[in-house]
Amino acid sequence: MQIPYEFQIGAHTIKVLKNKRLQDAYGEWFTYKKEIHLAKPKKDWSEFFAFQVFVHEVTHAVLETMGRQDLSENEAFVDGLSEAITQVILTSKFKEV
């Protein structure tokens, strides 16, 4: 699964920086910079896990852009929502048109 280097949320351009050295985190969302920083994947990380980390940080970005800092600060909520979104994306099946 590919992770983009940039995407839009409303009028905001969000940059995704990969292979960052992070302290005690797999990823981080920086509201003031409009950036997501992702740790360098470890060899034992599955492709699913690395993508879910990205979606987890996107969830923080979306919630904070919506003005829902309260939900963004609830890591259990963000984890649950990002896991569900990741599963939807990675298990979607399409019929050829």
Q: Give CA–CA dist 90/85, Å, rounded.
A: 9
pLDDT at 28 over 90: yes
Burial class (CB in 10 A: 0-12, 13-18, 19+), 36: buried
Using one digit for the tens of pLDDT, what is the confidence trace for 62-93? 999 999 999 999 999 999 999 999 999 999 99
Which pLDDT belongs to residue 54? 97
- pLDDT over 90 for what percent of the chain? 81
